[in-house]
Amino acid sequence: MIFSKRMMNNAKTKNQIPEEQYARKGGKSIDAALHKVFLILDHMRLMRRPGIGFASDLMNCYDRMTHAAGSLAMRTLGVPSNAIQCLSKTIQCMRNYIRTAYGDSDNYYCGTEDDLLQGGGQGTPVAPPMWTAISIIILRILSSYEAGVVILSSISLASMVLSAILYVDDTDMFIYGHSGESIDSILIRTQDLSLKWCDALWATGGAVRPEKCWWYLVSFKWKGSQWKYTSVEEQTGEILVPDCEGDQTVVKRIGVATPMRTLGVIIAADGNMRGKEIFAGDITGMGR
């Protein structure tokens, strides 16, 4: 009642949930997938505009949320402090048993004064709203740092500014190249934005899972009036992110023709509908 209904309704009424977060009332995962294709990838191809897409996956986002960050984020959405204290103390000190078909376990685990349990709890109705509140703050940080995508409507001249597309913890960040900007400069901006994303996650208890992340570079080469995508070998580069231990890890790069499953939809950066998907944990082919 307090977190799933009242807090989220208050956030929606006051327009506090950014458009980039599709995990909201009325939002659908297919909308996020379609916007990746039609608003960004198709726009890159039609305008012959270079850019980079970076897909990240988080590690146990509901379990790693710190109560300090979650409490502050939920206070900004109007939740009373006494309700947050009731929630936090319950989770931090609760006893956790294992229930099977043969009965409940005799042993249990729980938090201590020196090591309190954190997170929202898997399967609880408070975990998704808490993560939404935290993601709102992180998106504000990204938006103030780098407007990755700016698209101007040709009829109304309305502008759409995006730093990322999120559905729960499934996050895609995009960087458009400016007019005349070099690929190396786009790579540097993407690296800076990805590190800013990781730093914001780390401050709230979260972390990315590098083995489930990938990125691709959309760039073009011309021969007269004919264009082609540049291959991975023709345009080198790498992106690094910290893992849960803080060690810098190279993110896997895929080709623009390599299909990947995202939010239940198989998407390739060049828009092709061919081939078999390659999962993030088994990227062996680079594609075109």
What digits encode the pLDDT tens for the residues 261-278?
888 788 899 988 775 555
Q: How many CB atoms lie within 10 A of CB 104?
A: 9
Residue 164 host element (H or E): strand 164-167
User: What integer is the mean pLDDT of 138-161?
Assistant: 83
Q: Supply the pLDDT for residue 283.
A: 47
User: What integer is the mean pLDDT of 175-203?
Assistant: 91
Q: How confident is the model at residue 191 (pLDDT cuts 50, 70, 90)?
A: very high
User: What integer is the mean pLDDT of 127-154?
Assistant: 86
**252-253 and 214-218 strand pairing:** parallel
**What is the rounded distance in angstroms from the CA atom of residue 198 to the CA atom of residue 247?**
12
Beta-bridged to residue 249, according to DSSP, are 241
Would you say 150 and 179 are in contact if contact means Cβ atoms under 8 Å apart?
no
pLDDT > 90: what percent of the chain? Answer: 47
Q: How confident is the model at residue 6 (pLDDT cuts 50, 70, 90)?
A: very high
Q: Which amino acid is at 220?
A: F
Would you say 176 and 162 are in contact if contact means Cβ atoms under 8 Å apart?
no
Q: Supply the pLDDT for residue 276.
A: 59
Outline where the chain has alpha helix (H): 8-13, 29-35, 42-47, 61-64, 67-75, 81-93, 127-145, 183-203
